[in-house]
Amino acid sequence: MNSGPDKVIQTCKLKKEYTRYEKEEGFKGSVKSLFKREKIIKTAVMDFDLEIHAGEFVGLIGPNGAGKTTLMKMLAGIISPTGGTIDVLGYVPNELKNSYKKQFAIVMGQKSQLFQDISAADTFLLLREIYEIAESEYRSRLTYFTELFEVKDYLNVPVRTLSLGERMKMELIAALLHAPKILFLDEPTIGLDAVAQKQIRGFLREVNKDIGTTILLTSHYMDDIKSLCKRCIVINEGLKIYDGSLDHLFDRFQTHKAITVSFSDATDYRPPFDIKTTEENPFRLSFLAHRSDVRSILGDIMSKCDINDISIEAEDIGIVVERIYKSGNGTNGNGNGDTAGKEDKG
């Protein structure tokens, strides 16, 4: 990856608050609200410090409502922060200078920038004019991306006739035609089947590696994060609770192993250890065991039973992520990824 020392994104104490009003129910409440309304302030992002260097591929994870999309929209200039400072490529994003708009792109999986009733090729031509892309550069980039995404046969058909996976490929091409230095991706694989998800991940990996595009990715599919990002940021209730190595994060929170044992003969065996059984019958036993107990458990099983097969897998990613969210404020304040607390054996 073409990562370098240059910081392309910097925020300090970044904050975003939303104000909303509530009224009592019914007609009486409506009349009362004409004179007095209850104001509620919701903090979506709070005291968020962030540094991202050129060429990085960073994953942003968190539960629904954690503040991920709000953060990304502030970085793109779509919404303005309530407090703190923000610098992207030397620009203040919400000033929305044309020179800044040409430096980044944003793709949101649930929203489309393509016109549904015309072909993707026609939209690309429009984007060429908007971004003032030279003809030779436009043709060169379009050829590169259509070959990379394998979509040459779909360029000239109406977008609404494309499958979801084909449309997302076109969305990415549209975002990358003007050669942005930073690409913001918000759930780019949402709703896609496993094959399309894998294809999109492969394309993004190539764009990051070959072109050096800095990418910030949010996704609820942890396979996206694990296969693409060496660094991840965990955000919960607007606060950054982890920023560091993805491997370190999972080493810290992936505390259990999923073990399945098939027995040659019927048995009522249960390990004399703390386990959580997920499947149990005379010929098969599936359970979760703490990593520190796996060696002892397997030794006990093999000494007492005739084994047909044993499989050991990493704990389900969804459980790990849930544990991360419940861990609370897991950084030591400098964003280096040190997590607080002892390893939970429960």
139 lies in a domain? yes
Percent of the chain with pLDDT over 70: 92
97 lies in a domain? yes
- Give residue 335's pLDDT: 43
- Would you place residue 110 in the very low, low, confident or very high pLDDT band (cuts 50, 70, 90)? confident
Q: Which whole number is the average pLDDT over 140-153?
A: 92
pLDDT in tens, 190-212: 888 888 889 999 999 999 999 99
105 lies in a domain? yes
Domain match, 240 and 309 both:
no
Domain match, 136 and 154 both:
yes
Domain match, 116 and 240 both:
yes
Domain match, 42 and 91 both:
yes
214 lies in a domain? yes
Residue 18 · residue 42 · CB < 8 Å: yes
- Give residue 334's pLDDT: 39
345 lies in a domain? no
- Give residue 65's pLDDT: 84
pLDDT in tens, 62-85: 888 889 999 999 999 999 999 999
For the sheet containing 83-88, what is the strand order? 38-53, 7-22, 83-88
- Would you place residue 342 in the very low, low, confident or very high pLDDT band (cuts 50, 70, 90)? very low
Chain-centre distance for alpha carbon 231: 11
User: How many residues in the chain?
Assistant: 346
Domain end: 251, 271, 296, which one? 251
CB atoms closer than 10 angstroms to residue 293: 18
340 lies in a domain? no
Least confident residue range of 130-134, 243-247, 312-316: 312-316
37 three-class SS: coil
Least confident residue range of 99-113, 120-134, 174-188: 99-113
Domain match, 265 and 213 both:
no
Q: Measuring CA to CA, which residue among 329, 164, 327, 186 is closest to residue 250?
A: 327
Q: What is the mean pLDDT of the chain?
A: 86
**Residues near 23 by Cβ (< 8 Å), separated by ≥ 6?**
29, 30, 32, 33, 37, 38
Least confident residue range of 30-39, 118-127, 132-141, 157-166: 30-39
206 lies in a domain? yes
Q: Which whole number is the average pLDDT over 164-175?
A: 92
- Would you place residue 270 in the very low, low, confident or very high pLDDT band (cuts 50, 70, 90)? confident
Residue with tokens 């903090």: 43
Residue with tokens 């300090």: 12
Q: Which whole number is the average pLDDT over 220-240?
A: 89
pLDDT in tens, 14-56: 999 988 877 778 877 777 777 777 888 889 999 999 999 999 9
**Residues near 19 by Cβ (< 8 Å), separated by ≥ 6?**
39, 40, 41, 42
Nearest 5°: CA angle at 244, between 315 and 109?
Answer: 75
338 lies in a domain? no
pTM of the model: 0.78
- Give residue 57's pLDDT: 96
Nearest 5°: CA angle at 53, between 71 and 47?
Answer: 35
Least confident residue range of 37-41, 137-141, 221-225, 333-337: 333-337
Domain match, 17 and 141 both:
yes
First to last CA, the chain: 39
Whole domain around residue 216: which residue ranges? Answer: 7-251
Domain match, 269 and 205 both:
no
Specify the number of domains making up the chain: 2
CA–CA gap between residue 191 and residue 196 (Å, rounded): 10
CATH number at residue 136: 3.40.50.300
Domain match, 150 and 216 both:
yes
Domain match, 145 and 292 both:
no
Domain match, 196 and 270 both:
no
Asked if residue 1 has pLDDT above 50, the reply is: no
- Give residue 338's pLDDT: 41
- Give residue 328's pLDDT: 60
Domain match, 143 and 232 both:
yes
- Give residue 318's pLDDT: 67
Taken in order 335, 341, 342, 346, the sign of the CA dihedral is negative
Domain match, 33 and 143 both:
yes
Q: Which whole number is the average pLDDT over 99-109?
A: 91
Asked if residue 61 has pLDDT above 60, the reply is: yes
